[in-house]
């Protein structure tokens, strides 16, 4: 290498700042899912590994926050969880304690 030569950063490194967490997760779900499925398995789709490589941080707290905000929906699956966009989910149920209590009290025998 010539003296004073600086290697150009890869496009992946340059794009690190261009995607927010939400944009990355939404793009990952839309590109990694296999039709007719609406979601992805976070381990088997390599979503977790890709997230760690892109952001150098663990995806779990970020994904959990997006679930709490209502941006994502998750369900347990063998070896991890499946995540999908709430806007595309069939799961439109309220899982709050008050909703559970209402179901219990209105259940007829």
In whole angstroms, what is the distance from residue 2 CA to residue 28 CA?
39
Task: Assess contact for 76 and 39: CB atoms under 8 A.
Answer: no
Confidence of residue 93 (pLDDT cuts 50, 70, 90): low
Tell me the residue ranges of DSSP E strands in 1-109.
40-41, 72-77, 80-85
Q: Which residues touch 7 (CB under 8 Å, ≥6 apart)?
A: none
Task: Report, as an integer, the average pLDDT of 18-35.
Answer: 96
Identify the burial level of 86 via C-beta atoms within 10 angstroms of its C-beta, where 0-12 means exposed, 13-18 middle and 19 or more buried. Answer: middle
Tokens 């899982």, located at residue: 95
Instruction: Give the neighbor-by-neighbor strand order of the sheet with 40-41.
Output: 40-41, 80-85, 72-77
If one compares 92 and 70, the residue with the highest pLDDT of the two is 70
Hey, what CATH class is 15-106 in? mainly alpha
Task: Report, as an integer, the average pLDDT of 73-101.
Answer: 83
pLDDT of residue 90: 74
């Amino acid at each position: 290498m010539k003296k004073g030569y600086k290697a150009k950063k890869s496009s992946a490194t340059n794009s690190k700042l261009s995607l927010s967490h939400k944009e990355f997760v939404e793009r990952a779900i839309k590109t990694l899912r296999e039709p007719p499925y609406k979601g992805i398995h976070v381990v088997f789709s390599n979503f977790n590994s890709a997230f760690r490589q892109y952001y150098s941080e663990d995806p779990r707290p970020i994904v959990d926050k997006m679930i709490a905000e209502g941006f994502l929906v998750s369900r347990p699956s063998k070896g991890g969880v499946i995540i999908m966009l709430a806007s595309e989910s069939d799961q439109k149920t309220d899982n709050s304690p008050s909703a559970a209590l209402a179901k219990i009290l209105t259940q007829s025998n």
